[in-house]
Amino acid sequence: MREERRREQAKRLNLLKGIEEENEEIDEKDEKEELEEKEEKKSHKFLIITILIILLLAAYSTYIEPKYLFKVNEYMVNTKKIDKNMHGLKIVVFSDIHYGITTGEKELKNYVEKINALKPDIIFFTGDLFDKNINVQENSINIIKEELKKLDASLYKYAIFGDQDYSNKEQYLDVLNASNFILIDNESKLLYNESNTPIVITGINKYDKKDNSFITNPIEEIDTSNYLRIILDHEPDNIDSYINTHPDLIFNAHSLGGLIKIPKIGGIINNKGSKKHNKTYEKINNTLVYNSSGLGTSNIRIRLNNPPSINLFRLYLDKK
């Protein structure tokens, strides 16, 4: 009898043990499934947040930054090559409008007002008023003429060809003439301001290429080697063809700032012609090179961390 009871108790204990082990397995399985479910929810949440961020950035870089933001990059240039009449001179450089892409009538009017608010003495336009992908109609041409004519410089307004302007050469020349811009086309001009010490302004047109001898040739039989020499050139990678002429300043454009700027890296979408020299500022030997990020966009119609901008330079006589 006792032996049978012991066997019966042993069976019950084994049964209970089996039930407990089974319950433990069920609990472990439930816990594992719960963890997997939580991880899956996290993944879905992360994916949704990532998609939302991408959509917001796309909307911002397409519709907000290129049209509603604006920046003035201000620089101070100290030089011994000017006299007191040039001291404090203000120069505004703007470029790459690409009219009809993200810059239309409203945006152009706004940019003109902002430039005039700076009260510049000299205005330089360093190319690409037009865009090869846009057929600008006569009505738009008249708007462009009217707005650019409003740009007010106490001395002069100068312009050079951009690659896309050269494709619309007759229209471009018509606009410049109507808006009182002086075209500098593979030549140099002397800019005076109530003194006998001029600034030498040279405009490069690589699309109608000549040799670069005109850069250093005397102007009106005047030796210009001791004057402040500024070169306007649309495509920055063209610099290497004339850097050995040792200009003091080079103002160029074309890169659009790389469209998308990443901190500590810079622009990441650079046009052909601005693959090498695309920094906002660089010094090559003793030449200061400034790249305009421009006002518009082109084939890729976005700007991110790179708002439309102009450059403002103040010239100061270095008396040291």
pLDDT of res. 24: 56
Q: Which tokens sit at 124?
A: 């330089």
Cα 136 to Cα 280: distance, rounded to the nearest angstrom: 30
Q: Which residue has the tokens 């290497």?
A: 240
- Average pLDDT for the chain: 89
| pLDDT tens-place string over residues 207-258 | 876 677 788 777 777 788 889 999 999 999 999 999 999 999 999 999 999 9
DSSP tag of 61: I
Cα 81 to Cα 315: distance, rounded to the nearest angstrom: 10
Which secondary-structure segment (H or E) carries 173?
A: helix 169-178
pLDDT of res. 285: 93
User: Quick one: which of 102, 16, 8, 9 has its CA closest to 64?
Assistant: 102
Q: Which residue has the tokens 């209970």?
A: 16
pTM confidence score: 0.87
Cα 292 to Cα 304: distance, rounded to the nearest angstrom: 16
**CATH code of the region 73-317:** 3.60.21.10
| % of the chain surpassing 90 pLDDT | 68
* 3-class state of residue 152 by DSSP: coil
Q: Which tokens sit at 147?
A: 């707005």
Cα 219 to Cα 201: distance, rounded to the nearest angstrom: 11
- Spatial contact of 262 and 222, defined as CB atoms under 8 Å apart: no
- Spatial contact of 128 and 294, defined as CB atoms under 8 Å apart: yes
Instruction: Report whether pLDDT(293) > 80.
Output: yes
pLDDT category at 42 given cuts 50, 70, 90 is: confident
| pLDDT tens-place string over residues 245-260 | 999 999 999 999 999 9
pLDDT of res. 31: 66
pLDDT of res. 222: 77
| Residue of higher predicted confidence among 304 and 47 | 304
